[in-house]
Amino acid sequence: MVKTTSKDTQALFHSLRSAYATTPTNLKIIDLYVVFSVFTALIQVVYMAIVGSFPFNSFLSGVLSCIGTAVLAVCLRIQVNKENKEFKDLPPERAFADFVLCNLVLHLVIMNFLG
Amino acid sequence: MARNLGGFLVLFLAIAICEAASIFQPISDSHRSAALELFSPTDGSFGSLEDTYEALRTFEILGIKKRPDISTASCQSVSETLGSSTSSLKDVFHALKVNNILKCKVNDETFQGVAKRLKAVLNDASSLLDFYYSIGSLVLIKDQNSEVDVLLHDADGVFRSIKALSQSDGRWRYSSNNPESSTYAAGLALEALAGTVSLASSEIDQSLIVTLKNDIVKLFDSIEKYDDGSFYFDEKLVDAREHQGPLSTTSSVVRGFTAFASVTSGIHFLDVLPKSVDVGNYKFVFEIVLHDSEDKNVYATGGQTQVPVFVTGLIKIDNAEIAVLDSDHGSVETQKKLDLAGENAVSLSANHLQKLRLSFRLATPRGNIFKPHQAFLKLRHETKVEHIFVVGNSGKQFEIILVKFLGSTDFLGLVEKFFYLSGRYDIELTVGDAVMENSFLRAVGHVELDLPEAPEKAPRPPPLAVDPSSRYGPKAEITHIFRSPEKRPPQELSLAFLGLTLLPLVGFLIGVSFFY
Amino acid sequence: MAASETSNGTALRYAFGNVLSFFILLLIGVLAFSIRLFSVIKYESVIHEFDPYFNYRVTQYLTKNGIYDFWNWFDDRTWYPLGRVIGGTVYPGLTLTAGTLYWILNSLNIPLSVETVCVFTAPIFSAFASWATYLLTKEVKGAGAGLTAAVLLAMVPSYISRSVAGSYDNEAVAIFALIFTFFLYIKVCSWGGYTFIINLIPMHVLLCIVTGRYSSRLYIAYAPLVVLGTLLASLVPVVGFNAVLTSEHFGSFLVFIIIHVVALVYYIKGILSPKMFKVAVTLVLSIGLVVCCAVIAVLVALVASSPTKGWSGRSLSLLDPTYASKYIPIIASVSEHQPPTWPSYFMDINVLAFLVPAGIIACFSPLSDASSFVVLYIVTSVYFSGVMVRLMLVLAPAACIMSGIALSASFDVFTRSIKFQLPGVKGNSQVDAGDTSSEGVVAQNEVAKTDKNEEALKERPSKKNRKKEKEHVEKPSVKAQTKKRLLVLPFEASIIAILLLILLGAFYVVHSVWAAAEAYSAPSIVLTSYSHDGLHVFDDFREAYSWLSHNTEVDDKVASWWDYGYQTTAMANRTVIVDNNTWNNTHIATVGTAMSSPEKAAWEIFDSLDVKYVLVVFGGLVGYPSDDINKFLWMVRIGGGVFPHIKEPDYLRDGQYRIDSQATPTMLNCLMYKLSYYRFVETDGKAFDRVRRTEIGKKHFKLTHFEEVFTTHHWMVRIYKLKPQKNRIRGKAKKSRSKASSTTSTKRGETQRKNPWH
C-alpha cells in the first residue's frame, strides 16, 4: 500500500515536471515571480509571528502588496496563456497593460497605507 | 489764631485716633517676630544708617528687648560718619538719629565740627531737604549734647527761605527750581520750621508764624477720607519722582504738624488720667461744657466726639488645673496642674459617671480680675467631631465643669451630644481678648472617654465640614498616564529578516537569468 | 439584396428601440426625481429629521474648510466635554458626494446654497439608482425587465421613505451605490452598510464554485477585488484595521483562499492526464484533510476566545434579532432597529411582495451567473429585512428587480400568445417584434444588447463573464421560441391577465404616489395637522432652536435627550452633551440619569457637565406623541444600565407607565416630569395631557433649581435655565477686599477709596 503510494507519488511528480516543462518560458518567468512574491509574503508573516504585529499598517501593507502582486501576476498569467481558450481574442499587450495599471493602483494605495 | 490751632489739634487727634481705632490690634509676639525677621542684620550691622535707624526705632516701638546686638558696628559707623567732613547731610542726620537711640560715645569736638558744618550748609542751602536734614541734625545735636552751640542767629532768615518754598495751596516744593509741589514735602517743611523755631536764639517774628498757620489751614483742605471714616493725606501728583504712599505722606504731615505745634506752644496735654486705669476698653468723650452759666445764653454747644481707646497688657494666668471628679460626691479622682503659659500634655481618663473640671484664674497687671471676651474649651474626637463649651466664670475663678458624661435623666444630653463616641478627645483651650496681649489657643492634653454603647435611635454624628482649603484650594496634581511605547524587536532580528526578504528576490533574479 | 434590406430594417429598429428606451429611462429619472418633491411642495425646502442635520452640518464644514480640515475635524460642540472626532468616525461617502456636487455647481456659476444641494441630493440619486437598476436587471433578464424594474424602483415606497427631498442621509446615496456596485461587481467601500456587499459577493463566488461554474474569469474578477477592496476600505478612517480584524470580513478572505485552491486544482487538472490527476487528488486530499482540520480548529478557537466572538454589536443584532434588545438598550430604543411587522411590508413594497416569488421562478429558467446573484441577493435581503425595519431599504431594490423580471416575463408570455393568435402577425413570427407594445422593445434590446456587449463592455472582465453566458442563452432562445409557440394561452385569458396586471401596476402607482405625498414627506421638524377649523402648522422646533441661537451665549451648553443633539448643533449652533451618534453609552446614561433624578440631583449632574440650558420636548398640549415623556422609559433604562440607583420599577405603578394621579412619587418628582408639566395646569385649568389622554398627577409645583426661560407657541419645546449657585458671603467679602487693594493707584476723584490698612 505504502509502496504503491510512493510509486504513485513519484509518477505524479514526474508527470508534473514533464507537463510543466512544456510551459513557455514567459509563463515560467511569471510563475517564478509569483513564487517570489509569495515567499516574500511568507517571510513577513513569520517575522510578524515572531515579533508581533505592532506597526500593523506596515505589516498589512507589506503582506498585502506581496499578495496583491502575486494575484495580479496570476491574472496576467491566465490571460496571456495561449492554451486558455477564454482569452483567445485578448492581445497579450493589453493584458500586460492591465497588469501594469492594476499594480500602479495597488502600490499607490499601499504607499498611502504605509503611513 | 491759637484757638484756631487748638481746633486743628482736636481734629488732628481725631484723625490719629480714628486711624488707630480702625487698625487697632494689640501688639503681639507675631508683630515682634515679623519685625525681627524683617530687620535681620548681616555681619552685625544693617546696610545703611537709615536702615539701622528704622530697625532700631521699630524695635523700640515694639518693645523688643532681645534685639540683635549691633551697637558696636553701628556706633563705629556713626562716629565715622560724624567725624568725616565729606559725609552727606542725610547720613549725618541718620547717624545722629541712631545715636539718639544707641547713645554712642561721641566726643564733643565731633559734635562741634558737625554743628559748624551744618550751620555753614544752612546759610547757603536752597533745597528743602538740605534745610530739613541740617536743621533736624542740629535739633538732634541739641538734644544729645548740651555743650554744643547750635542756636541759629538768623532764624528769621532761615524761616523765610524755607517759607519761600511754600505754595498757595499749603503744599511745598522741594527746591526753588522745581515746580512740583508735594504734600510730603509740606510735612518735612513743617518739621524743619519747627526745628528752626526751637533753635532760634531770639523770638521768631510772630507774623511769620501766622502766615504759616494759614498755610496749614490750606493744607488741611486737601485732606481725604477713606470709606471707614479715617482721614489721610495723599500726593496730588501720583507720578512724581519721589512719590510716597498715603501712609508715609500722612505720617510726614502729622510729624511736621506735631513738631510745629509743640514749638509754638498751642497744644494741651490731658494729664488727668486716673490712676486706676487698667487693661480694657475705654471711651474718650469730647464735649464742651460751658463753665459760666451766663455763657449759656450767649453760646450754643452741641455735638460729641467719642473715641474708643484700648489699653492692652499682659494678663497673668494662675491656679490653672484640670481634674476628673467623681460625680456623686464631688471628690477629686485625678487632678493636674496646668501651666497655661507653656506647653501641656496631660492625659486623663473618665467614664460617663464622672465630671471634668477645668479652672484657671486671670488677673490684670494691677491684680484685678480680668474677663476675656472669649474663653472656650474644645473637645475634639479622633473622628474630628468637635464640641465647644464656653468657660463660665464664677467671680474670681474661671471654671467649667462638664457634668457627668452620662446622667440618669437630665444629663443624658451631654452623652447624646457626644454621639456616644468613646475614645480619645483632645482638649484645647482658647482664651482671647482684644486687649489681652497674650491671648492663646493651646492644646492642654487629652482625655479618654468611656461612654456607653449607642442605643438604636441615637443621633448620628454630623457630616464633617469640608475643609475650605481642600474645597477651594489647589487640587491634587493629576498624574497623566501615558501609553507605554510598543515593544520593538531587537534591531538584529529586524535586519536579519530584511536580509531574508531579499533572498526571494535574489532567487527570482537568478531564475530569470537562468531562463535567458 | 433582400437580406441586406432586412438587416438594415433590424438595425433601424434596434436604433429606434435604443432611442425609445433612452427616452423611457429619461422619463423614469424625471419620475423618480419629481415623485420625491412632495415634501418641498407641501412644506418647504428644508432638511428633514435628525441625522440629515448632522450630515448637513458636516457638508457645510466640508465646503467651507476643504477636504483636509474635514478629515482632521475634531468637533468640540458635541459630546461635551469629550468632543467627537468627526473625520474618523463618519462614513464620508454622502458628504463627499454632496460636497462635490456643490463644488461643481458653484464652479459652473450656479449659486446654489449648500442646503439646497443637500435637500436635492437624495432625489437626484434615486434617479441614478433607478438607472442603475435598469443596468443590473438588463444583465439578468434583458432590457424589458430592466425598464420595468427601473420604473418600480423609481416609486417603491420603501425607498421613497428614505429619499424624499430633504432626507439627506446615507441611504439616499447608498442604495444607488449598492445597485451600481452589484452592477459593476466592484466593491464600494465608503458607504454605510458595505459589509452587506462584501459578504454577498463572496457568497456568490462560493455559489459559482459549488455549482461548478468556476472559470478563470471568476478568479480574475474576484481575487484582485479582495486585495484592492480590503486595502481601500482600510484607508477609510471609520473602517481602518477593522477591514482585516473583524469577522464580518473573514468570509471574503476564506473565499479568497478557496478560490486559490480551486484555481490551482483546475490548473493542475489541465496539465495532467486524468489518471495522474486522480492520483494527485487522493494524495492531496489525505494530506490536506489533516492540515485543514488543524487550521479550522485554530481559527474557531481564536474567534471563540474574543468576547463578542469577533462580531460587532450591530452585526450581531442582525443575526440574532433578540440580541440588541437583550444587551444594548440604546440600540433597541431606536424604532428603526425593531423587527418590522407585516403591514409595514405591505406599506413599503406593496404589490411587489406578491411578484417576488414569480420573479425568482423566472430567474431559474434558465439560471445564469447574473440571475443566481440576484436570487442570492433577494434571499439574503429578505432575511435581513426581517431583523430590522431599516434594512427594508436593502430589500426594496431586490424586490423591484425580481418584480420587474416577473412582470416583464409574464407580459412577454401573454403578448406573445395574443400575437400568435392574431391573424395579421401570424406568418411574421420570426421577427417577433411587436409594433406598439413596449414589450417589443424588450425583445429587440435583448438582441441589441449582445452587440453592445461585444463593442463596449470588453474592458470589464466581470462583464465578459456574463456576456459569454448571454451568448449561450441567446442561441437556444431562438429554438425555444418555436417551442414557446406551442405553449400558447387562450386569447381571452391572456387579455384578462394583461388587464389584471395593468390594474395591479395601477394600484401600485396609486399607492406609491399616496405614500410619497402623505406618509413619507413630512419633514418632522415642521408638523401639520388638520382639524375642523382647518390646517395647523407647528413650527415649534425651529422656533426653539432659533431662540437658542439668538438668546444664549455661543459657548453655552444645552442638554437634551440625544434625539435632538444633531438638530441643536446644526440649527442653534450650541454645544450639546449627547447627540444621535450614540457612541458613548455612559455619557447618554448620565443625561438619562439626570432626567430621571429629582431636581436637585439633576441640577448637580448638569452643573458638573457645565450645562446652562435644558431642552425638553413636550407634546401634551397639542398631542404630539413622540415627545420626551413617551421616550422617558428609555432614559430610565439606559440610565439605570450604568447607574444602578435608577431603577425602572420605581417609575412604574404595577408595571404600567403612567403620569396621572396613580403615578409613583419617583415619577412625579423626576426632572423630566417637572420640566414637561411645569405650569401646564395654567393652559386649560385641568392639566389634561392629550397624548396620554389623562390628567396629570401633580399639577401645582414650583421649580427650585431651574427656571423656565422659553416655551414655544404650542408648548412643544420648553427650554429651562439652570439657576446659578447661591452666592457665598465669605467669597464675596474676599473678592471685594482684593479689589480694594488693587485700586490704590486708580485715579483720584473717581470713587471714595477703601482704607487699605484696614
Mean pLDDT, rounded, for C222-243 = 75
Lowest mean pLDDT among A6-20, B16-30, C29-43, C443-457: C443-457
Find chain A residues with C-beta within 8 A of B512's C-beta.
Answer: 29, 32
Confidence at residue B9, expressed as pLDDT on a 0 to 100 scale? 40
- Please name every residue paired with B448 in a beta bridge, in sequence order, or none if there are none: B349, B424
**pLDDT band for position C26 (50/70/90)?**
very high
Indicate whether A5 belongs to any domain: no
Q: What is the DSSP string of C296-364?
A: HHHHHHHHHHSTTTT--HHHHHHHSTTHHHHH-HHHHTSGGGSPPPHHHHHHHHTTHHHHHHHHHHHHT
Measure CB to CB from residue B497 to each of A35, A37, A43 and give the nearest one. A43
Cα C39 to the chain's mean position, in Å?
19
Mean pLDDT of chain C: 77
| Beta bridge mates, B308 | B283
Q: Based on the structure, what is the number of domains in chain A? A: 1
Of the candidates C232, C234, C279, which has its C-beta nearest A8's C-beta?
A: C279
Q: What is the pLDDT of residue C247?
A: 64
Classified as helix, coil or strand, C66 is: helix
Which value does ipTM take for this structure? Answer: 0.82
Amino acid in the structure at residue B216: I
Pick the residue of B15, B224, B225, B227 with the most C CBs within 10 A to test the interface with C by mutation: B227
Residue A9 lies in a domain: no
CATH top-level class of C536-722: alpha beta
CB contact under 8 Å between B226 and C753, yes or no, is yes
> What does the pLDDT look like over B394-447, one tens digit per residue?
666 777 766 544 433 334 567 777 777 788 888 888 888 888 888 888 888 888
Q: How far is CA B454 from CA B233, B383, B447, B458, C31, in A?
A: 66, 16, 20, 6, 85
Name every chain B residue with its beta carbon within 8 A of the beta carbon of C756.
246
* β-bridge pairing B346-351 and B440-450: parallel
User: Got the DSSP string for C555-602?
Assistant: T-EEE--GGGHHHIIIII--EES--SS---HHHHHHHHHHHHSBHHHH
Q: Which of C242, C251, C231 lies closest to C187, judged by CA?
A: C231
Residues of chain C with pLDDT > 90: what percent? 6
pLDDT of residue C709: 92
- Checking if the pLDDT of A1 tops 60, the result is no
Name the packing angle between helices C392-421 and C369-385 (round to 10°): 130
Residue C741 pLDDT:
41
Of A90-94, C73-77, C337-341, the least confident = C337-341
C180 to C31, C49, C129, C249: CA distances (angstroms): 19, 27, 7, 21
pLDDT (tens digit per residue) in B239-262: 555 567 778 888 888 888 888 877
Q: Mean pLDDT over residues A25-29, rounded?
A: 85
Determine the Cα–Cα distance for residues B94 and B136; give it in Å rounded to an integer: 10
Closest Cα in chain B to C740: B227
Q: C752–B23: do the CB atoms touch at under 8 Å?
A: no
From chain B residues 15-34, the ones with a CB under 8 A of any chain C CB are 19, 22-23
Kindly report the nearest CA distance between residue C221 and chain A, in angstroms: 9
When CB atoms are compared, the residue of A16, A86, A110 closest to C272 is: A16
- Listed range (A79-83, C17-21, C456-460) with the worst mean pLDDT: C456-460
* Structural domain contains residue A6: no
3 state DSSP class of C37? helix
Residue A86 lies in a domain: yes
Question: Do C99 and C61 touch, CB atoms closer than 8 A?
Answer: no
Q: Do B500 and A43 touch (CB under 8 A)?
A: yes
Does residue A83 fall inside a structural domain?
yes
**Residue B292, pLDDT above cutoff 80:** no
Give the three cell numbers for residue C707: 427656571
Residue B399 burial (10 A CB sphere; 0-12, 13-18, 19+) = middle
pLDDT digits (tens, 9 = 90+) for A101-113: 888 888 888 888 8
Size of interface A-B (CB pairs under 8 A): 44
Confidence band, pLDDT 50/70/90 cuts, at residue B18? very low
Look at C216 and B369; give whichever has higher pLDDT.
B369
Question: Any idea which of B130-139, B192-201, C268-277, C667-676 has the lowest mean pLDDT?
Answer: C268-277
Window from B200-204, C119-123, C442-446 with minimum mean pLDDT: C442-446
On the question of pLDDT at B339 being above 70, the answer is yes
Rg (CA), chain B: 38
Residue of B nearest to C749 (CA): B224
Interface test with A, best of C213, C226, C232, C234 (most A CBs within 10 A): C234
Written as one string, the DSSP assignment of B118-185 is HHHHHHT--SHHHHHHHHHHHHHHHHH-SSS---BTTHHHHHHHHHTTB-TTS-EESSTT---EEHHH
pLDDT band at C6 (very low <50, low <70, confident <90, very high): low
pLDDT at B17: 42
- 3-state SS assignment for residue C700: coil
C274 burial type by CB count under 10 A (0-12 exposed, 13-18 middle, 19+ buried): exposed
When mean pLDDT is compared across B249-263, B461-475, C386-400, the lowest value belongs to: B461-475
Name the minimum distance, in Å, from the CA of A11 to any CA of chain C. Answer: 8
Does the domain at residues B316-455 carry the CATH identifier 3.40.50.720?
no
C575-576 and C688-689 as β-strands: parallel, antiparallel, unpaired? unpaired
d(CA B334, CA B323): 5
- Residues contacting residue B373 through CB under 8 Å, at least 6 positions apart: B432, B433, B434
E strand or H helix that includes residue C709? strand C706-711
> pTM here?
0.54
Distance between CA C206 and CA C210 in Å, rounded?
A: 6
pLDDT (tens digit per residue) in C707-749:
899 999 888 899 999 988 776 554 444 444 444 444 444 344 4
Please tell me what DSSP assigns to residue C707.
Answer: E
Interchain CB distance below 8 Å, C757 and B23: yes
A86 is in which domain, residue-wise?
25-114
The shortest CB-CB distance from A43 to any of B494, B501, B512 is to B501
Minimal C-alpha gap between C745 and chain B (Å): 8
CATH node for B2-263: 1.50.10.10
- When CB atoms are compared, the residue of B487, B497, B512 closest to A29 is B512
Instruction: Give the tens place of pLDDT for each residue, C28-55.
Output: 999 999 988 888 888 888 888 888 888 8
| pLDDT of C343 | 81
**Contacts (Cβ under 8 Å, ≥6 apart) of A105:** C228
HSE (side-chain half, CA atoms, 13 Å) at B191? 25
Q: Is A55 helix (H, G, I), strand (E, B) or coil?
A: coil
The pLDDT, as a whole number, for residue C372 is 76
* Residue at C551: amino acid letter: N
pLDDT of C46 reads: 86
Q: Are C478 and C121 in contact (CB under 8 A)?
A: no
Residue C243 has what pLDDT? Answer: 67
Give the model's confidence band at C423: pLDDT under 50 very low, under 70 low, under 90 confident, else very high.
Answer: low
B397/B388 Cα distance (integer angstroms):
20
Looking at residues C367-382, what average pLDDT do you find?
Answer: 79
Residue C539: band (very low, low, confident or very high) from pLDDT cuts 50, 70, 90: confident
Predicted confidence (pLDDT) per residue in C476-534, tens digit:
444 444 444 556 677 888 888 889 888 988 988 888 888 888 878 777 788 888 777 77
Strand residues in C441-563 grouped as ranges (E): 527-531, 534-538, 557-559
Q: Where are the domains of chain B?
A: 2-263, 316-455
| Range among B22-26, B188-192, B465-469, C327-331 with highest mean pLDDT value | B188-192
pLDDT confidence of residue C470: 42
Q: What DSSP character marks residue B229?
A: S
Residue C332 has what pLDDT? 64
Check residue C719 and give its pLDDT: 92
Comparing alpha-carbon positions, the chain A residue that sits nearest to C268 is A16
CA distances from C87 to B53, C79, C585 (A): 73, 15, 20
Q: How confident is the model at residue C550 (pLDDT cuts 50, 70, 90)?
A: very high
Please give the average per-residue pLDDT across B287-295, as a whole number. Answer: 77
Residues of chain C neighbouring B246 (CB-CB closer than 8 A)? 744, 756
Going by pLDDT thresholds of 50, 70 and 90, the confidence category of residue C265 is confident
- Is residue B229 predicted with pLDDT exceeding 80? no
Q: Compute the count of residue pairs across chains A and C with CB atoms less than 8 Å apart.
A: 74
Residues of chain C with CATH 3.40.50.12610: 536-722
